Chains A and B, each alone.
Chain A
Amino acid sequence: MGSDMVTNATNFSRSGLSDWIIQRFSAVILAAYTLFILAVLVSMPELNYESWREVFSKNSVRLFSVISLLALCGHTWVGMWTVGTDYLTDRQLGGKGTFIRLIYQSFCVLLIAVYLLWGIQIFWGS
């Protein structure tokens, strides 16, 4: 039980307060980016390849996209960690809870890393 606490405390920033701030700060960025993309989609009814590509080739949009991608990584990690430590525990799943949560968290880290590298490639590579 004592070591279980240590595992639980290993969150994104090793501090609940920082996690709290990261979650909210990134949420605001992601909300702004979502509204921006929706505004682009709605304001361009005659969307074609040229105009679509032009939007994402602007340096300001690239910067906004990559910052939002970083916000997304922090946001998903804190969120998935919170969900995992609430439901994938020894109390909910019996003795294997900690092990299952470790696998789950490894999967989350891997997928976040893939999203980050893939996203940077999309936004800055093309």
Chain B
Amino acid sequence: MLLITGTNRNNKNNLYATVLYQVKDTRPVNLDLTTVKFPLPAITSILHRISGVGLFLGIGVVLYFLQLSLESEAGFERVLELLRATPVKLTIWLILAGLLYHLIAGVKHLLMDWGLGESREGALRGAQVTLVLAIVAAALSWGLIW
């Protein structure tokens, strides 16, 4: 099936593209998410992604508050005043809890890169520890903000 001509053989990019194209094309596709089982490690993984995308937008909020707080004495007071409002508190809490979740899941990711907890049981245990630590971190950030 995979025909590599003389010119392709000397062109790394073409070879890469050709191989991937073939692989992509012949693999069965099953992306009907309602039929896929999500074990705990899969849930922590997707939460890692969701928190990452959320944080990408949350950085804007954080930079806004940081700028205001460093700008002037009045700006600093304004930040404290804003932080008294419940919607603001909730937003900051979501960002902080999301950040800590992303951090904890990221550390787990690095440990797995290192070869730790790669077995089926290890991955499940890692996911459980990640969730427990993240819940503790979310509770502590709640306490810090309120």
Interface residues on B, range: 20 to 34
Let me know if A48 and B76 touch, CB within 8 A. yes
Q: How far is the CB of A121 from the nearest CB of chain B, in Å?
A: 8
Number of A residues with CB within 8 Å of any CB on chain B: 34
* Chain B residues, CB < 8 A from A80: 52-53, 56
Q: Which residue of B lies closest to A112 (CB)?
A: B56
A111 close to B (CB within 8 Å): yes
* Chain A residues, CB < 8 A from B110: 24, 27-28
A96 close to B (CB within 8 Å): no
Let me know if A126 and B70 touch, CB within 8 A. yes
Let me know if A118 and B63 touch, CB within 8 A. yes
Q: How far is the CB of A97 from the nearest CB of chain B, in Å?
A: 13
A76 to B53, CA, bound (A): 8
Q: Which 3 A-B pairs have the closest CB atoms?
A: A49-B76, A5-B17, A49-B73
Q: Give the interface of B toward A (CB within 8 A).
A: 13, 16-17, 20-21, 25, 29, 31, 49, 52-53, 56, 59-60, 63, 66-67, 69-73, 76-77, 99, 103, 106-107, 110, 113, 144
